[in-house]
Amino acid sequence: MTAKTILVIGTFDTKDDELSFLADVIQANGGKVLTMDVSVLGEPSRPCDHSKHTVAEAGGSSIEKATQGGDENTAMQIMASGAATLAARLYAQGAFDGMIALGGSMGTDLALDVAQALPLGVPKYIVSTIAFSPLIPTARVAPDVQMILWAGGLYGLNAVCKASLSQAAGAVLGAAKAVQRPNRDKPLIGMTSLGTSALKYVVSLKPALEARGFEVAVFHATGMGGRAFESLAADGAFACVFDFCTQELGNHIHGSNISAGPDRLKSAGAQGVPQIVAPGCYDLVDIIGWEDIPAKWSGHLSHAHNRLLTSIVLNAEERRAVARAHANQLATAKGPVAMLMPLHGLCEWDRAGADLHDAAGLAAFYEALQADLPPNVTQHPLDCHINDAAFAEKALEIFDGWCADGVVTAP
């Protein structure tokens, strides 16, 4: 097997020892190393493959402008732009197989840009003193990035941080050897859902779409999953989307931290990708389960899904706000949009007789949705529940029609 090359990124002026240790471990385990210096003021102990001057120039600037900008934030944004541009160019040239960067908050800020600049399937590791921190917004996280907490890594080498760095070196090298990068042999369908205790359509839709020659990727719509879905949609990865769990949009407009960001339900439309949409679990807002329930939700029913996640049940007016948000997001779509509207409920817990059933709340939501949906969205009221067979059958009927008409390119 050909030795894999790992791009090692960091500020070699202040973290020379740590970055060199990381590179040495990669090489000791049979890998090759390509180094990129993103420091501004100092110099590394030995030349890097790509100097700070090359990095700054790749971003359309220079080290002189970075040092004369007046503050470290401006300087590091120059270096972040250059590092992302240069890394993408080098990967396109076949110069490396995986990337690893390390740093504190500033190095992490830069590394997040680099990770987003590289395609899905390229191993991307960030060793960070703020890994998993709420400082890192979901919108900055690449769909397949890996983060490792850099314990004891603020200044200099020690036994604690060597344990983290050596594992990180092995992880990125192992990933570069083992990764199966996505191929484009089959057109890809993006689908959103939750677990089958709430939404069950994936059980029948996934094999049905695969039988038609498509590949199906199902995204867990709990914030980070929706962010990955939107990121790939923005890159044009999908031939069509079955976006049947849009709860993250409600999370966002009602202030939950479990959000996929303000672009939820917009990225596929911006690319002209055909969308079949249903507002699955529209009536719930997820909050962090191990925190106290915010005062704004006092008096609301809630459902404790597990120790990490609790769902708040919205009242009628809050549901109308969710309906308006769907209409606003879909109004910008450049491709066809079909809105499926199962009139008997949108998650297993809101069926007639179930714990969270609220017929008046569902009616209020649909009244607002039907009134506010823009003309570019075709409405399909359905006399069924979202988990009934009739829902999946209607989705396939629309999809098959689009394939027959050439709206979706069939394999």
| Confidence band, pLDDT 50/70/90 cuts, at residue 29 | very high
Give the span between the Cα atoms of 338 and 399, in whole angstroms.
Answer: 10
The answer on 218 and 265 residing in a single domain is yes
For residue 173, the model assigns a pLDDT of 97
The answer on 206 and 171 residing in a single domain is no
Q: DSSP 3-state helix, strand, coil percentages of the chain (rounded to 5)?
A: 40, 20, 40
Confidence check: pLDDT of 152 > 90: no
In a domain, 410, yes or no: no
The answer on 216 and 153 residing in a single domain is no
The answer on 228 and 168 residing in a single domain is no
The answer on 397 and 274 residing in a single domain is yes
Of 13-27, 128-142, 277-291, 343-357, minimum mean pLDDT range: 128-142
| Confidence band, pLDDT 50/70/90 cuts, at residue 154 | confident
Of 63-72, 160-169, 310-319, minimum mean pLDDT range: 63-72
The answer on 250 and 169 residing in a single domain is no
The answer on 268 and 249 residing in a single domain is yes
| Confidence band, pLDDT 50/70/90 cuts, at residue 305 | confident
Domain final residue pick, 125, 144, 178:
178
The 8-class DSSP code of residue 297 comes to: G
Confidence check: pLDDT of 151 > 90: no
Q: What is the pLDDT of residues 62-100, one digit of tens each?
A: 999 988 877 888 898 999 999 999 999 999 999 999 999
For residue 1, the model assigns a pLDDT of 62
Instruction: Give Cα separations from 377 to 233, 247, 301 (angstroms).
Output: 18, 19, 32
Yes or no: say if 190 and 228 are a contact pair by the CB < 8 Å rule.
Answer: no
Number of domains in the chain: 2
The answer on 140 and 95 residing in a single domain is yes
For residue 68, the model assigns a pLDDT of 85
The answer on 140 and 55 residing in a single domain is yes
CATH number at residue 66: 3.40.50.12020
Range of the domain at 132: 5-178
Yes or no: say if 96 and 124 are a contact pair by the CB < 8 Å rule.
Answer: no
| Confidence band, pLDDT 50/70/90 cuts, at residue 357 | very high
Q: What is the pTM of this model?
A: 0.85
Q: What angle do CA 401, 405, 407 make, to 5 degrees?
A: 90
Give the span between the Cα atoms of 55 and 62, in whole angstroms.
Answer: 8
Assign 340 to helix, strand or coil: strand
The answer on 127 and 260 residing in a single domain is no
What is the pLDDT of the chain when averaged over all its residues? 94
Q: Which residue type is seen at 230?
A: E
The answer on 107 and 156 residing in a single domain is yes
The answer on 174 and 198 residing in a single domain is no
Cβ neighbours around 353 below 10 Å, total: 5
Of 60-69, 152-161, 259-268, minimum mean pLDDT range: 152-161
CATH number at residue 203: 3.40.50.12030
Yes or no: say if 118 and 100 are a contact pair by the CB < 8 Å rule.
Answer: no
| Confidence band, pLDDT 50/70/90 cuts, at residue 242 | very high
For 389, how many CA atoms within 13 A lie in the half-sphere containing its CB?
Answer: 1
Q: What average pLDDT does the segment 343-372 reach?
A: 94
